[in-house]
Each structure stands twice: as C-alpha cells, then as structure tokens.
Amino acid sequence: MLLTKAEIEARTITEDGQVFLQKAAQDGLETVWDRYQAQKPQCGFCELGLSCRNCSMGPCRIDPFGEGPQRGVCGADADIIVARNLGRMIAAGAASHSDHGRDLVEVLRKVGEGHAPGYTIRSEEKLKKVAAEFGIAADGKTPADLAVELAHAMEEEFGTRKKALTFLGRVPEKRRAIWDKLGITPRGIDRETSEMMHRTHMGVDNDWQSLLLHGLRNALSDGWGGSFIATEVSDILFGIPQPVPSEVNLGVLKENQVNIVLHGHNPIVSEMIYEAAQDPELLALASEKGAEGINLAGLCCTGNELLMRRGIPMAGNHLMTELALSTGLVDMMIVDYQCIMPALGEIATCYHTLMISTSDKAKFPHMAHHEFHPETAQSKARELVRMAVENYERRLPAKVLPAPNTPTRMMAGFSVEAILGALGGSPAPLIEAIKSGAVQGAVGVVGCNNPKIRQDFGHVTLTRHLIENDILVVDTGCAAVAHAKAGLKVPEAAALAGPGLQQVCKSLGIPPVLHMGSCVDNVRILDLAAALANALGTDISDLPLAAAAPEWYSEKAVSIACYAVASGIFTVLGTPPPIFGSPKIVKLLTEDIEGLLGASFAVEPDPEKAAARIEQHIRQKRKALGL
Ligand code: SF4
Ligand code: SF4
C-alpha cells in the first residue's frame, strides 16, 4: 500500500529515504517502519525494564502502578529486575564489540605467522607504539614477529584475570583512582562480561547498586578493552585513517557499474573485497558484461571503516539498509555481523541482488553463506566479486530506480592522529581555542537510527544547534552518516558554525563535524579526551565535553553510553533506556552518579532541549575551570 506524503515525512528527513520509502511500498516491501507500526503498542513492562525471563519459574513482571505483583516468583523486586536487565544489555553490547576485536587479533596473529595471504601490516608505526604499551620491545624484531607477540599479549587481555587492562595506561590518573575506589577497574575483557551473566543469574547478585557498579566495569572492559583493541588492531592492519573526501546517500549507487554494498562492522572481509575490486581481470570481466566499473559502497559501520581509510562512499546508515535494496541497483550485498536486519534477505528476493553472509557466527535467512577465513579470504573475495560482476546483467529493469538526488560531498578520516596532525602535532592549539572561548567545548554525537525517531532528525537537529554555539562535534557510526547526508561534513559547513568555531575550522580547513569512524571507534573519542586531560594534568570529567546518542537502538550503544559516563563524560540519550520501572535506578543514573563519577546520564528525546542541556553543562564546566 502506498504511503501518504505525511507518513513518509514522519519517517525520515532524508531526501533519498523519502523517495525509496515510496518505491519500497510500490514494490510491496515491508520495511522496518512498517514492522514497528505493526508492533504497536509495544509492551509497557518491557519498556520500563520490569519484565524478567531469566529463569523458568517466570516469566515475571512487576506492576508499575503498585496494584499487581511487586515481586517475581523468586522474590526479585523492580530494582533488582531493572538492574539485571540493564546489566545483560551492557554484557551483550560489550561482548559484541569485544568479539569483533578478538577476530581482528586473530588476523593480526595469522599475518605475523604468514597464514593470511592478502593481509599485511599497514602501520608499523602503530604496531610499535601499541607493542610498547604492552611491554614488548621492538628491537631487532621483524613486523611479523612483533605482530605475533602483540597478538598473544592481546589474547591474554580477553581471558586472564589481570589487575587492570593494558590500555588503562592512557587513562588520566585521577580517573583511575576513581575506578579503583569504586572497585570498577576492568580486569579482563571476557571476564567482566562472563561475570555479569553470572551475577544476573537467579540467586546471585541481588543488590541493584552492586549490579550497576559491575555494569560500569563491564562497559569499561569494552571501552578501554575490546573496542580499544578493535580500533588499534584495525589501524595496524589497514592503516591509520587520514582525512579523505567521499560522498554519501543512495545516489552513490551507479546505474552503469557493478554495485557491491558492504554492510556490518568488521573490516576484515570488506578490506579484501576492496582489494579484489581493483583486480584488472575482474575489471575486464565487468567491462565485458557492459559495466563501466566495479563500484563499492558502504552501509553502517563496515561502510564507515572503508570510508575512513579508503574514501569508499556511503550508501546510508542503519534505516537505509532495506531501502538500498529497493533501488534495484545492488548486484551484491556482503554482510559480516551486527545491525544486519534479518529481513534483508527476504527483501532482496524481490530483486536480482545476491545476498552473502560471511561469518560463521552471523547467518541469515535467504542469504548464501560464504565463510571468510584469514587463510582463504583473498581467493574468497575474488570469487564473490566475480559473482557480483556476473550478476550485473541479471538486473530487472522494471525494478530499477536510480536515486534522483546527487550524492552529498563529505570528508572523513579524522583519527586522533589525523586531528593532532591538523593541529600541528599536539593538542595545545585545541586547548588554546577552548581556553579562549573560540571553541566552547566538544561533543561526541554518536549512535544508531531507530524507527521510533524520525530518521536522522535527532542527530542533525542536535548537531546544528551545537555547532551554531561554537561547540565542536565529533561523531561516529550512523550519526556520522546522518550528519554527512545533511552536508555538515565539508569544510564549507563551517559557515553554519558560530563565529569562533567557524574561524578555527577555516584556519585548519576542516569541517565543524569531524568523522572519527565506526561504533568501536568511539574509543578514538575516549582517547582524544584522555589526551586532552593528560595534557592539562586533570581528569576527563573536568573538561567541557559531553556525548549524545539521539537515535540509539543497540545494546552496544548501552555499553558505549556506560563507558562514556564511567570515563567522566556527561551523556544524553534520545530514546529512553528500559530503566524507568525503578525510580531509584533513574535517580542514581541521572543524579547521584555525578557525585561518584563526575558525570551522569540524561534522557531527552527532544534534540533542541538536549542541545540546551549540553550547552548548559559545557558552560558549567567552563566556569569551574575559570574560563
Ligand atoms: S529470575 Fe525471578 S523474576 Fe526472573 S523469571 Fe525467574 S523467578 Fe521470575
Ligand atoms: S551506530 Fe548503531 S545502528 Fe549504526 S552500525 Fe553502529 S550499532 Fe549499528
């Protein structure tokens, strides 16, 4: 059934999204927005965090109005149930990032052992730096030897009980002292996740405060552990991102080229596809089939990884993944893991698109499974690109609709190294700009899309307000793609910033919104914040910084928000987390935690109000610093 203009505009602010929502409806597709409508009203107990199915005496639920049951069969009350549910969300998010990191460590080791043809060490500089942090001397060792030693040392971080994770060496001393005092210093990556699953089993930890404290430790094991390893090893294997121009929106899919779309999170597969797409033999085959080339485009964070290092254009963010298929132009979609809607395979059956899954831990209905292993990734990538090229001539002309809008230009690649490079090698100029008030502060606007919120509206509205008020925005994930689509990631967007930020951006030739990467790359923001605090001899929580996730949906976002707050960064969430069934937990996380960590959470669905709260927070931090 066709959608009305009002229905379409209520779903997304994006021009391409509006066109392809109608195209999808014409083609009879059911999208994420349709399925969300069909689920309404969603379960109020679950929304409040008051339902539990942790054992088979249940499922149980607590009546939020006080008229029905106030305890589950085991006796757990609202506070215990909410804390346990939140703990399990953190554990799932931390496990996802950290397992992604472990897969990269495996490739690093195999590269060193000579068992991963096609992969190489692209940044010996970072290999040596990180090896030194792990206490491994580089003297006289080949990069291959160093890679093996570092991989083994990193593998130890996952399972072994340690006093503290290695990357905590970058954390300001004041922050480390806070964690030690609270007993939340993360000891081992898998250890904290495993302990969370244990604590939330029936009859283990039934103190809601103790559960929440372990939740923070579990999240820190992600932020300063699993995700940190993922980002650093990706840089070692695939290169440290540097500023690179690119384009974004569904217009990047080319009518006259073979389009291969890469979706998911881990660059291990997509980097090999990138190499294979340059193969002269496959390019010649594409030409034989009548195509003018092989065009790669990204979705979600696999797209962000390729964008940051290779400038590969982005087709879109999370809510565009189904709509990308409805162009009829995708000859192959290759997925790895995370945020890949199980509906995608069935949607693709309406078109000629070949859907390919690549990880043994992420299989999907209506997708052909082609497993990637480091040993055979190079030949597998060539096989898949060949299949995509051969599929080009099977397009269904009646189903094809190229995007009517031209792609929006953007700039990505702002790793910490690139930002410090643009500043002349040290954070001093940024600190001076903050001290002078030209830049009032910095905010990480990160996270997903969620059909509960008009697509991209939360991100773009919040960010426009912040930059207008001289607040530098750094971003990652699907938020970064939203900002790029809105034209905020080109140097000319400095004209939209306040006078101080505008001046800084113009003098450095950078946009007011800096793309720092994928979801695991939120640790680049942590790393930059820690570098600023260390340069000033202070704590992260003293700086005029904040974070926001206006449209988050994922358990990974819960872990990210928790490690941001635990690291001392005030964090505003746009969609309410399932904690409102426990007024005590809401009070702790939004008020009392400030006294423990120097940072707290806020929940504010209205992005204009969220901007006002963040601006007020930044003013307070500046005042406390005497600025
Ligand atoms: S753990 Fe307790 S509250 Fe949860 S399902 Fe079992 S009995 Fe019910
Ligand atoms: S930002 Fe959220 S939706 Fe987007 S790729 Fe990351 S976790 Fe998935």
* 107 in contact with ligand 2, CB cutoff 6 A: no
**Among residues of the chain, what percentage have pLDDT more than 70?**
100
> Best mutation site among 50, 51, 52 for ligand 1, i.e. most ligand atoms within 8 A of its Cβ?
52
Tell me the mean pLDDT in the region 490-514. Answer: 97
Give bridge partners of residue 52 from the DSSP assignment.
60
Distance 448 CA to ligand 2 centre (A): 4
* 321 in contact with ligand 1, CB cutoff 6 A: no
How would CATH label the architecture of 414-625?
3-Layer(aba) Sandwich (3.40)
Topology of domain 244-399 in CATH is Rossmann fold (3.40.50)
* 127 in contact with ligand 2, CB cutoff 6 A: no
CA angle 542, 546, 552 (to 5 degrees): 150
Burial class of 508 by CB neighbour count within 10 A (0 to 12, 13 to 18, 19+): middle
562 annotated ligand binder: no
Distance 519 CA to ligand 2 centre (A): 6
Indicate whether 231 pLDDT > 80: yes
Tell me the mean pLDDT in the region 34-39. Answer: 98
* 447 in contact with ligand 2, CB cutoff 6 A: yes
How far is Cα 287 from Cα 571, in angstroms, rounded to an integer? 50
Indicate whether 161 pLDDT > 80: no
Give me the pLDDT at residue 159, please: 85
How far is Cα 375 from Cα 296, in angstroms, rounded to an integer? 23
Calculate the alpha carbon distances from 533 to 241, 332, 528, 540, 611 in Å. 23, 45, 9, 5, 23
**Helix axes 189-199 and 208-221, enclosed angle (nearest 10):** 160
How far is Cα 71 from Cα 308, in angstroms, rounded to an integer? 49
Closest ligand 2 atom to residue 519 Cα is 6
- Which pLDDT band holds residue 258 (cuts at 50, 70, 90)? very high
pLDDT (tens digit per residue) in 539-581: 999 999 999 999 999 999 999 999 999 999 999 999 999 999 9
* 204 in contact with ligand 1, CB cutoff 6 A: no
What is the pTM assigned to this prediction? 0.98
Q: Which two tokens stand for residue 212?
A: 């929440």
Cβ contact 460:431 at 8 Å? no
74 annotated ligand binder: yes
Closest ligand 2 atom to residue 477 Cα is 1
Burial class of 397 by CB neighbour count within 10 A (0 to 12, 13 to 18, 19+): exposed
CA angle 378, 383, 386 (to 5 degrees): 125
Whose Cα sits closest to atom 2 in ligand 2? 448
* 556 in contact with ligand 2, CB cutoff 6 A: yes
Cβ contact 273:263 at 8 Å? no
pLDDT (tens digit per residue) in 479-497: 999 999 999 999 999 999 9
Map 329-387 to HEC letters. Answer: CCCEEEECCCCCCCCHHHHHCCCCCEEEECECCECCCCCEECCCCCCCHHHHHHHHHHH
- Give 287's DSSP letter: H
Report the mean per-residue pLDDT for the chain.
Answer: 97
Strand ranges of the sheet holding 441-445, from the earlier edge strand across to the other edge: 513-515, 471-475, 441-445, 545-549, 570-573, 601-603
Distance 388 CA to ligand 1 centre (A): 49
Ligand of minimum distance to the alpha carbon of 559: 2
Question: Domain residues of the chain, as ranges?
Answer: 78-237, 244-399, 414-625
- H or E segment at 421? helix 416-422
Q: Which residues contact 170 (CB under 8 A, 6 or more apart)?
A: 133, 224, 527, 530, 531, 534
Same CATH topology for 244-399 and 414-625: the answer is yes
Closest ligand 2 atom to residue 552 Cα is 2
Calculate the alpha carbon distances from 83 to 51, 79, 197, 301, 475 in Å. 11, 6, 12, 29, 29
Ligand of minimum distance to the alpha carbon of 203: 1
How far is Cα 12 from Cα 324, in angstroms, rounded to an integer? 14
Rg (CA), the chain: 24
Q: What are phi and psi of 450, to 5 degrees?
A: -150, 125
Whose Cα sits closest to atom 3 in ligand 2? 448
Cβ contact 515:410 at 8 Å? yes
> Best mutation site among 554, 555, 558, 560 for ligand 2, i.e. most ligand atoms within 8 A of its Cβ?
554
Ligand of minimum distance to the alpha carbon of 45: 1
Q: Which residues contact 574 (CB under 8 A, 6 or more apart)?
A: 453, 458, 548, 549, 550, 551, 552, 604, 605, 607, 610
Distance 573 CA to ligand 1 centre (A): 28
Calculate the alpha carbon distances from 298 to 26, 169, 253 in Å. 25, 34, 10
How far is Cα 552 from Cα 508, in angstroms, rounded to an integer? 31
One DSSP character per residue, 384-406 reads: HHHHHHHHGGG--GGG----SSP
Whose Cα sits closest to atom 5 in ligand 1? 58
Map 9-52 to HEC letters. Answer: HHHECCHHHHHHHHHHHHCCCCCHHHHHHHHCCCCHHHHHCCEE
Give me the pLDDT at residue 162, please: 79
Distance 342 CA to ligand 2 centre (A): 15
* 448 in contact with ligand 2, CB cutoff 6 A: yes
pLDDT (tens digit per residue) in 404-420: 989 999 999 999 999 99
Whose Cα sits closest to atom 3 in ligand 1? 72
Q: Which two tokens stand for residue 544?
A: 């005029």
Distance 201 CA to ligand 1 centre (A): 9
* 60 in contact with ligand 1, CB cutoff 6 A: yes
Tell me the mean pLDDT in the region 295-321. Answer: 98
Q: How many CA atoms lie within 13 A of 575 on its CB side?
A: 22
Tell me the mean pLDDT in the region 228-255. Answer: 98
Cβ contact 582:83 at 8 Å? yes
Ligand of minimum distance to the alpha carbon of 449: 2
Give me the pLDDT at residue 347, please: 98
Give me the pLDDT at residue 400, please: 98
Ligand of minimum distance to the alpha carbon of 81: 1
Give me the pLDDT at residue 328, please: 98
pLDDT (tens digit per residue) in 371-382: 999 999 999 999
Tell me the mean pLDDT in the region 210-235. Answer: 98
Give me the pLDDT at residue 306, please: 98
Give me the pLDDT at residue 283, please: 98
Topology of domain 78-237 in CATH is Substrate Binding Domain Of Dnak; Chain:A; Domain 2 (1.20.1270)
How far is Cα 269 from Cα 390, in angstroms, rounded to an integer? 20
* 318 in contact with ligand 2, CB cutoff 6 A: yes
How far is Cα 535 from Cα 441, in angstroms, rounded to an integer? 16
Q: Is 434 helix (H, G, I), strand (E, B) or coil?
A: helix
Nearest Cα to Cα of residue 356 among 302, 293, 292:
302
* 58 in contact with ligand 1, CB cutoff 6 A: yes
Q: Which two tokens stand for residue 624?
A: 């406390």
* 519 in contact with ligand 2, CB cutoff 6 A: yes
Please name the residue that has the structure tokens 């090698």. 425
Q: Which two tokens stand for residue 595?
A: 């006294």
Please name the residue that has the structure tokens 């003013």. 619
Ligand of minimum distance to the alpha carbon of 58: 1
Cβ contact 285:386 at 8 Å? yes
Q: Which residues contact 363 (CB under 8 A, 6 or more apart)?
A: 357, 369
